[in-house]
């Protein structure tokens, strides 16, 4: 099992948000209750500056597994940010069924 880098072990309860594909992140957002999304957003937002600083020490293509895990978690934060900060209601983002979304590769 992949773990987060040592300075970020406090984020271990949110490891299930570390998803490697955009499709998985969208599916997680759609399937997660709003109160859990708000909690995840709040916790990760507080650590975002430290996360970016940590990840910037690696080229994306050479990131160690633990850093990639952290990066994927940060990308999940990006996925839920509009929902939490602007729309406040998951129904507003579900105009297209998630399974029909095909991310750009």
pLDDT tens for each residue of 60-73? 999 999 999 999 99
Angle between helices 22-31 and 65-82 (to 10 degrees): 50
- Determine whether 30 is exposed, middle or buried from the number of CB atoms within 10 Å of its CB (0-12, 13-18, 19+): middle
Listed by start position, the domains of the chain span 16-92
Does the pLDDT at position 8 exceed 90? yes
For residue 52, what pLDDT is reported? 97
What is the model's pTM?
A: 0.82
In degrees, to the nearest 5, what angle opens at C-alpha 51 toward C-alphas 47 and 56? 155
Of all residues in the chain, the percent with pLDDT exceeding 70 is 81
The residue to which tokens 């983002």 are assigned: 93
For residue 91, what pLDDT is reported? 55
Radius of gyration of the chain (CA): 14
- Determine whether 13 is exposed, middle or buried from the number of CB atoms within 10 Å of its CB (0-12, 13-18, 19+): exposed
For residue 92, what pLDDT is reported? 52
* Residue spans of beta strands (DSSP E) within 1-105: none
- Residue 88: enclosing H or E segment and its boundaries? none
């Amino acid at each position: 099992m992949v773990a987060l880098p040592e300075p970020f072990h406090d984020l271990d309860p949110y490891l299930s948000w570390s998803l490697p594909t955009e499709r998985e992140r969208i599916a997680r957002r759609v399937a997660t209750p709003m109160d859990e999304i708000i909690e995840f957003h709040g916790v990760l937002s507080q650590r975002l500056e430290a996360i970016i600083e940590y990840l910037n020490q690696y080229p994306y293509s050479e990131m160690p597994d633990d850093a990639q895990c952290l990066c994927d978690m940060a990308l999940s934060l990006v996925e839920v940010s509009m929902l939490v900060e602007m729309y406040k209601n998951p129904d507003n983002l579900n105009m297209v069924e998630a399974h029909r979304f095909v991310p750009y590769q």
